Amino acid sequence: MTEERVFREGLEGVVAAQTHLSHVDGLKGELLIAGYPVEELAQHAGYEEVAYLLWHGALPDESQLSDFRRRLATRRALPEATLELIRIAAERKVAPMDALRMAAGTLDLDGQPDPREQAADVVARFPTIVAAYARLRSGRQPLQPDPELGHAANYLYMLHGAAPSPAQTRALESYLNTVVDHGLNASTFTARIIISTDSDIVSAIVGAIGALKGPRHGGAPGPALDMVFEIGEPQNAEPYLRAKLQRGERLMGFGHRVYKVRDPRAEVLSAAAARLYEQNEQIDGDQTLYELARHVEEQAVRLLAEFKPGRNLQTNVEFYTALLLHGLGLSTDLFSPTFAIGRAPGWIAHCFEQQRHGRLIRPTSEYVGERGRQWIALERR
């Protein structure tokens, strides 16, 4: 009796893992993080609280949270070898995601065998890596982490050299919490496959970064904002978008492989962006970009319904990610590394879960090539 095998392109609909970490319902537009609606966590929780939740299965009490924050804060400084690699990458103008991937691979050079300790090092040092690289690339020296600041606030401080406002910190925490985990996506699946071989946490995270770099996964928020910049004025939106659709091009920031309704993360980040740009209005008196982006969104959704009826292509997380991170002063090529900072605790939580299962992930393939071929000596070919 032969075992039944079913081939599905892209593993569509195949259940490859059972998890307690997140639940995605694309038909209802629902995302749960360890049982909590993403809207609840993004709005109220600090970044460290959500990381603790994913690693321990419950929200921390005051003492646990204080200890966890201190544990991360004391690990933010980079090993000298990591910092030297970042300097070389900056001199050679390496792309930020490649710099993060290379630097992340050095975080186990001290031979730390404990997965929990490796995990804390990765999460604590990712912001330091990205901020140090961004500053070196622009001719500035990296800043030492501030142990008195929380994870999100310290990242903005190391990037810009000034402590962020509470509104800016809340905006970044909302973003990081929103993207911390999202089912068995490509990068998370990559991490689980690597850790299932009994490899180490750092290797699994390096592999996940490689998957996240792809523009069909985490590499798309920048182009979503570039499109808004290219449009420039509200009156240009409709003809610009219509021309792209007539050419068969994709509108970045709209539509999703899973969600058949509006991405719930877009809802969260839309509200967070509105609050951030309201503060920015009070600071610099310019809310033009936010208003333009909202107009572009309205026109895009309307035209997608016209050109692709029945597909219900709605705004996804990329669109408001771009708007929010731009409002926080990040260049577009830092959007994907910042995504990695947010996703790292989720990757690691999946690694822990996979280690508990202890099962090697080993799918099969269906051979569709030729058979019966015979060897031909080199001189006769």
Residues with catalytic function: 256, 318
305-313, long-range: CB < 8 A, 24+ apart: 307/245, 307/246, 311/255, 312/260, 312/261, 313/251, 313/254, 313/255
State the CB neighbour count (10 A cutoff) for residue 37.
14
Contact 48, 176 (CB under 8 A): no
Contact 327, 335 (CB under 8 A): no
Integer CA distances (angstroms), 47 to 229, 337, 346, in order: 30, 16, 12
Separation CA 309–CA 307 (nearest Å): 6
* Gyration radius of the chain over CA positions: 22
Query: Beta partners for 32?
Result: 23, 37
